[in-house]
Amino acid sequence: MSTAEKTSDTPTFERYRVTRKLRSGPITDLYRAEQVTLGRPVIIKALGRGILPSSPFAAALEREARLLTELDHPNVIRVVEFVEEKETTWLVLEHVDGFSLEEILAQKRLSPVAAAAIGFEICQGLAHAHEHGIVHRDVQPANVLVSRDGWVKLVNFAAAADERLPTAPELLDGSAGFGTPEYMSPEQLLGEPEDPRSDLFSLGIVLYELITGRRPFDSSDEKARSHRTRHDPVPPLHRTTPDVPASLDRIVRRCLEKMQSDRFPNALDLGRALAREVEDGGFSSPIEAVAAELARVGLAPKPEVRRDSIRMRVRLKPPTVGAALGGYLAALCLIGGGGAAIQYKSAAARGERAARTGVRLELVPPNVGYLRVVADPWANVVVDGEQVETTPFGRSIPLTAGVHYVRLEHPAAPTERRTVTLSPGETVLLDVKMDVARPKRQVQTTPAVPNLTDPKTP
């Protein structure tokens, strides 16, 4: 940028030197800058020229700063400072050396495992925000940054909802509504109350787009798109992406359930499911998977082999020969009477491994309960939005203790919905008779025998 450009077009910010204008909007402008005192790069989000600090837009920018101040997570953009002066107001954010998902999608479609890894990191940031009572309400590719070394950052909390803070008086993009219609959940489109599961629906659209290169409910007509989002089933991912794993297809479909209760209950549960996809793809961490994908599509150099923790519970990998032999010897020792000592050593080893890697490995989930389902004549059993079995089946379904939402579906019967509450160790029996519409029987009548003696008979 030349000196003339800086003088004529670029505002000055005390203690910061602007190096590049990144984006210009109707209300705010985005700049890359250098913090002079520390020599580190930052991003400045500033009100545009002519918008005074006394305007509602300045209040909205301050609200976003307050929301970000409450959050402190590697997958959420960090606020450096908020400055309000007589002539202008600006927000200073950490700099991310990378790209937005929108920029990446404009060049390449991502592999399923990379999409799962990015989705996992977004889930981590969303879970942290949700724990603080903040719903993002505008999860979309433009609001997700990906660094060259594989970190993912959730940005732009201008439309976020926080019950502890008043609603933003004016949106910073100059629009009249909260969120981006192409990524809105059905409840957002209808103007109904959102909750954290609304963010998961938007993330489901992002995941679908990352995998297939298109959004699931797109239409050139806004009303048609809204109708499709609220009513149409999700087009199969394998129709355009044959190599997508069936398990990842189910995850995305569950995110895009029309009813909030049919989606994943929270971002952590969705993140666990996506973490398994990353592990099955052969990566030790989502950061490694994302960095490898950026290198594959030519956006970053080939990363070094890393062993970052996935930071969530994942499935155990198949044991090696040495591990299997060790297990066999351990079993012999247990039979010989050394069980207590070995259990103590095993627990200590697991604790040391968890402390070292941050990954908690569990063979059986804690506080498990069981659900038995009987349906007459039969039904597809859907628990918390994911199809589990088709009756009849003899086994009980292990579920984490708590509230679960069950759907029983039969092609010739109305869907039956039940809410089941499980206590640890409890088995609940769900016995439902499906109201199957049976075809009406046609009663054949025997034609009357004519009375030949009756003069009225023809």
Catalytically annotated residues: 138
- Compute and round to an integer the Cα radius of gyration of the chain: 29
Q: Would you give the DSSP letter of residue 182?
A: G
- One DSSP character per residue, 249-314 reads HHHHHHHT-SSGGGS-SSHHHHHHHHHHHHHHTT-S-HHHHHHHHHHHTTSSPPPPP------S--
Helix (H) or strand (E) holding 345: helix 339-357
Distance between terminal CA atoms of the chain?
Answer: 108
Are the CB atoms for 196 and 136 separated by under 8 Å?
Answer: no
Supply 351's token pair. Answer: 């604790």
Are the CB atoms for 313 and 361 separated by under 8 Å?
Answer: yes
Phi-psi region of 317 (alpha: psi -120 to 50; beta: other; left: phi over 0): beta
Euclidean distance between CA atoms 250 and 103, whole angstroms? 27
295-304 exposure pattern, b = at least 16 Cβ within 10 A, e = fewer? eeeebbeebe
Q: Would you give the DSSP letter of residue 337?
A: I
Nearest to 161 by CA among 128, 135, 179: 135
Strand order of the β-sheet with 386-390 is 386-390, 380-383, 402-410, 413-422
440: three-class secondary structure by DSSP: coil
453: phi then psi, degrees, rounded to nearest 5: -85, -10
